[in-house]
Structure 1
Amino acid sequence: MSLFTYKYYDTPEGQDIYKKVFVTTKYATLAGLAGATFDVLMFSHPKGIVNTTGRYMFYVGPLVGMAAAFTVTANVAQNIRGKNDGVNYFLGGAAAGTILSAWTRSLTIALPAACVLGAAALVKKAAVDEGWVIMPTLPTNATKTIQSVRHDWTMVKDIDSLKTWTTGSK
């Protein structure tokens, strides 16, 4: 299986940790790039390539670290404990919370961030185990594509009897 087509839950917990770290950090990198682009364009307006790169690294670096810390902690806890339960995910979320508090340089949010991210990880674990759908997929015919102009997206069709205009030349 290719590394680029691998999904996090393709293998059981505790196996293929490097592939799982790649998957989670890939999504964290994309989220960090989006957030950093928003910051650079809307708020910070850095001057020069070095400052712009610094702003991107300010967002991407900690998010990638949080994703890697979650993945490694949850999977290593699975291997050490030998149980596949929510405690592993809570520990992973707590590890990500400590990185979040280091990123914000605030010791006062260390415990709340660890608890909140641990609880979010518990919800994710319960969703995976019980088959909950957190982010439903849209039906393919509901999205607009380059071919959308060929479809009639109106709510009501035109009534020909109400058209009172003519098309032009006499």
Structure 2
Amino acid sequence: MNKLLNYKYYDTPEGQDIFMKTFVTSKYAAVAGLAGASFDVLMFSHPKGFVNTIGRMGYIVGPLVGMAVAFTFTTNVAQNIRGKNDKLNYFLGGATSGFVFSAWMKKGIIAVPAAVVLGAIAVVKKTGIDEGWIFFPDAAQSTKTIKSVKHDWTLLKDIEELKGWTDGSKQ
């Protein structure tokens, strides 16, 4: 179980460990969906009762997880079928997610634009992975404790030799 929770998407090459990769993307989609669904329930839809609230949250979380599963499965199966690890696999995965999105919205007219947009976003992600882009850099955080007051936070230290001023009393 620990391996399942600590696994990262790029721990293994594309086309391998499809179940683990699907679990990872579904986990991220579920967390993002719960945050978005909670915002929707509290701010916009205001469903009455427990069952309606769970239904509304499922209406938002379910398709997001479905989009993540469709992307991961399509990308990895395309890798295994084609035998190539390139941007087309990611485009196909993003396009599949676009079709799931249009089915969720119940608007067939947005199927192709959603597929193209999500496919293009997936290609940008693949390009970033291949070229080593950092999408979310780690931010250095300073620790603030009770003793932080004793630290010298000045940008430039005083240089004693350059202090040639007087207080004006010796004239």
Where on the TM-score scale, by shorter chain, does this alignment land: which range?
0.7 to 0.9
- Aligned partner of 2:160 in structure 1 is none
**How many residues matched?**
151
Structure 1 residue runs of 4+, over 3 Å off? Answer: 147-153
1:90 aligned to 2:91?
Answer: yes
Rg larger for: 2
State how far apart, in whole Å, the 2-side matches of 1:62 and 1:149 are: 47
When the two chains are superposed, the root-mean-square deviation of aligned CA atoms in Å is 1.8
Superposition TM-score, scaled by structure 1 size: 0.84
State how far apart, in whole Å, the 1-side matches of 2:146 and 2:111 are: 51
Give, as a single letter, the amino acid of the residue that structure 1 aligns with 2:38.
T
Cα deviation for residue 137 of structure 1 reads 1.3
State how far apart, in whole Å, the 2-side matches of 1:124 and 1:46 are: 36
- Aligned partner of 1:120 in structure 2 is 121
State how far apart, in whole Å, the 2-side matches of 1:79 and 1:56 are: 35
State how far apart, in whole Å, the 2-side matches of 1:26 and 1:114 are: 22
Cα deviation for residue 151 of structure 1 reads 3.4
Cα deviation for residue 63 of structure 1 reads 0.2
Cα deviation for residue 106 of structure 1 reads 0.6
Change (3 A) 1:129 1:41: same
Cα deviation for residue 104 of structure 1 reads 0.5
| Structure 2 unmatched ranges of 5 or more | 155-171
- Aligned partner of 1:107 in structure 2 is 108
State how far apart, in whole Å, the 2-side matches of 1:71 and 1:133 are: 21
- Aligned partner of 1:25 in structure 2 is 26
Give, as a single letter, the amino acid of the residue that structure 2 aligns with 1:71.
T
| Structure 1 unmatched ranges of 5 or more | 157-170
1:11 aligned to 2:8?
Answer: no
State how far apart, in whole Å, the 1-side matches of 2:131 and 2:40 are: 37
Superposition TM-score, scaled by structure 2 size: 0.84
SS at match of 1:42: helix
